[in-house]
Each structure stands twice: as C-alpha cells, then as structure tokens.
Amino acid sequence: MSGKSRRYKWLILAIATYSFIALVINMSVFPVVSDDMAREIGLTYVQIGLIMSVFSIFYGSVQIPSGVASDRLGGSKIASLSVLILGLSGLLFAFTPTYDLALVARILMGLSGGFLLPSTMRLLPGWFEAAEYDRAMGIYGFGQGVGLFLTLISIPTVASVYGWRTGLASVSALTLLAAALSLALLRDKERTISNPPASMRLRDFKEVVTGELLLLTSFNATSVSMFTGVLTWMPLFLLKKLDFTLIEVGYVTAVMGAAMIAASYVSGPLSSRIGRAKVISVSMVLCVVTPLLLVYSSTSLEVFFISVLLGFAIMLYFGPTFGAIPEAVKTEYVGIGFGILNTLTFIGSSITSAVTGFVLESTSSFYLAFLTVSLISLLGLFGSLKYLFGKKD
C-alpha cells in the first residue's frame, strides 16, 4: 500500500465514523425529546415505544438488500445515499404535526439508515489489513459513543432553549453534512467490489449463515437490544422517578456515551491481548446486570457510576465482534453476511422497545420494564459462554 493510500484510508475511516455518529444521533435523539413531543402532539407510552420501534423494524428489513447492493456496487455509493436520505427524512420528522406523520418519517429514517452499516462493512475491509482491522473497528465504534454523548449533551440544551423541533432539525443538518462529505470523498478499493451470485442458492446461503456468524449476531443483538431498551426509557425514568431536569438527564446520561467511547477504544487492543471471547463475555455479563442496577439507583452519583457500566456493556463487545465478521464468512459475502447479522439484530431490538413499552403501559413499573431488558440480554450471555469455551482466539 502506497503512502498516499495509507493516509487516505484514515480519511475514509474518519468519514465513515462521522456518518455512523450521525446515524446514532438519529437513532437515539427521539427519547431525549419524547416528553416534549408527547405533550405537543399527544403520545401515549405505547406510541412512544412504537415510534422508537419502527426505526429498528424498517432498519432491519433492508439489511440484506443493502449487503447485496454493497457487494455488487461497492460500499461508498450506498453509504453516501444512505446518509443523504436519512438527513432529508429526519427533517420531515422534526417538523411533523401528527403521530401518523411521525411514524412515516421514522420509517423512512429506518429504511435509509439501514443501508449504512452493511455498506461500511463492505467498504472498510478493503482499506485495512487483517492485522489492524480490530483496531479500525474499535475506532469506528467510537461513533456509537460519540453520537450518544453529543445527543445527551447538546440536544437537551437546544430543545430546552429553542424547542424540540429545532433540536431535531440540527441533527438533520449534521447528517446532511455527513452526506456531502461522503459523496465527495468516499471511495472503494477496486478489489473490494465483488460479484456474488445473481441469486443465492441454499448452498450459498449456508456459506454465509455460519455458526460463528450466528454467535456474533447474538452478541450484537444483545448489545443493541439493551442499548435500545435502556435508551428508550432511561430519560423518562430519570425525569419521572428521580425528578431530574431535562438538562440534568442530558449531562448525567452523557456519561454513558463517554464510557462507550472509552470501551470502544480499548476493545480492539484488549481483544488482541486477552482474546476476543473473554472481552465479549465481560460485555454480555454487564448487559444482563446493568439495567437492574439502573432501576435501583436513587442519586446522581449512582446514576453516574451505572452509566459508566452501561457504556462498557454496550460497546466493549464491538471491536472483537465486528473484527471477526470478515473471518466468519467468505470475502464475496461480507456485505450480505453483515446484512443478515444486522437483520436479526434489529428484529430483536425492535421487539425490545415494543415489549418494554407494553410492560410499562400495563404495569407503570420501570422495574419490570428494565427487568425485561435484562432477561432479553441473557441471549448474548449464553452465546458468549459458548464462544468462550468453544472458541480458541
């Protein structure tokens, strides 16, 4: 690889990470403004849960088509179009006058945002060698923590001063900037664009859906489901049960985003040092335990400490899990394989938001809602134990 290519790959990674940050903000911003939005247009707990869920449902529905398109056309084109349409549909959500239109906007956001990660997973392996891919994935994983951190630090302040619509519109502006950078600068390595079969036969499908890919899916599904379940209800829990202000909710829970950044950074080097399976197992244990710790918290200091644990639970798995994807499937099927992983993941996460919303609506118990999140997280814990005792790093 030439010196110019070595430098350019970091620019590619930076733009891809910024686009991921924009995606995470779009995914996570609604719970921050949901209370104000609910008062203005009239939303029940179930409707709040459905608005959160439809993003995940439609996000998941396009993962495999996105993987196929990325394997055929290259990741850069698909990623660029993804963030462009995401930004435009986000503007529709920001200025929606009704619940029905809010659902339509979130569906469009989910459909467009769903094309980003599979296309990025097709794009990045061409620029990074296998030995540095876990590290690259750890850096890329910054996007989730940074996105959450920015959401919880900035949006509550903007929403409190200028209104929730302005907060959502500012998110769309950041997303459209990511689209402009992607359209101008993202490029595929020629060797990364492949020709998978025009129609996948059963044998081809079996080569993609390997046992290892399913285990990796269980880790991703657990983390995303826990993240979605906690993020949907954590702001309301802090506002209604602990009497936090909206700005206090933003600053306190932003600690979780900062911890996610730290966890993502250390996940790659740590997996190289002690093994992927051990790092993933720690992450899965935390996914089960931390939602229950949160619901028993009563002070800002306790919330601060638990938010740190939540951040590590959500992102410690990221580097080793995503670094293993190119090894779990054949090169020509990386995009499709990641699409399958994300499809199964977001089916699970959409169920989590809807089920916890139903539990909260039926019982008015945040304890039972967060207990539901912990029980769902047992999937990843069992998978990590199988990975730990059956996998040699």
Query: Between residues 225 and 201, which one has the greater pLDDT?
Result: 225
When mean pLDDT is compared over 92-96, 272-276, 330-334, 376-380, the highest value belongs to 92-96
What burial class does residue 129 get, using C-beta atoms within 10 Å of its C-beta: 0-12 exposed, 13-18 middle, 19+ buried?
exposed
Residue 83 predicted with pLDDT over 90: yes
Q: Give residue 286's pLDDT.
A: 94
Residue 2, both tokens: 């030439």
What is the C-alpha radius of gyration for the chain, rounded to an integer number of angstroms?
A: 20
Cα torsion angle, 340, 174, 224, 9, sign: positive
- Residues 147-189 have pLDDT tens digits of 877 887 788 888 888 999 999 999 999 999 999 999 999 888 7
Q: Give residue 178's pLDDT.
A: 95
Could you tell me the pLDDT band of residue 331, with boundaries at 50, 70 and 90?
A: low
Cα–Cα distance between 68 and 340 in angstroms, integer? Answer: 10
Cα–Cα distance between 79 and 306 in angstroms, integer? Answer: 34
Looking at every residue in the chain, the average pLDDT score rounds to 83
Q: Hunting for tokens 């390595």 — which residue is that?
A: 189
Query: Between residues 106 and 353, which one has the greater pLDDT?
Result: 106
Q: Give residue 261's pLDDT.
A: 84
> Where do the structural domains in the chain lie, given as residue ranges?
3-193+200-390
Residue 217 predicted with pLDDT over 50: yes
Residue 25 predicted with pLDDT over 90: yes
Q: Hunting for tokens 């990641």 — which residue is that?
A: 338
Residue 351, both tokens: 């169920």
Q: Give residue 332's pLDDT.
A: 66
Cα torsion angle, 325, 329, 335, 341, sign: negative
CB 346 within 8 A of CB 224: yes
Q: Which fold has domain 3-193+200-390?
A: Growth Hormone; Chain: A; (1.20.1250)
Closest CA to 281 of 174, 393, 194, 182: 393
Residue 393 predicted with pLDDT over 70: no
CB burial of 273-299 (b: ≥16 within 10 Å; e: otherwise) equals: eebbbbbbbbbbbbbbbbbebbbebee
Mean pLDDT over residues 340-365, rounded?
80
Could you tell me the pLDDT band of residue 87, with boundaries at 50, 70 and 90?
A: very high
Q: Give residue 19's pLDDT.
A: 95
Residues 6+ apart with CB under 8 A from 306: 290, 293, 294, 297
Cα–Cα distance between 333 and 194 in angstroms, integer? Answer: 9
pTM above 0.75, yes or no: no
Query: Between residues 181 and 48, which one has the greater pLDDT?
Result: 181
Could you tell me the pLDDT band of residue 23, with boundaries at 50, 70 and 90?
A: very high
Mean pLDDT over residues 210-214, rounded?
76
Portion of the chain with pLDDT greater than 70, in percent = 90
Q: Give residue 180's pLDDT.
A: 95
- Residues 250-285 have pLDDT tens digits of 777 778 878 888 888 888 788 878 888 899 999 999
* 382, amino acid identity: F
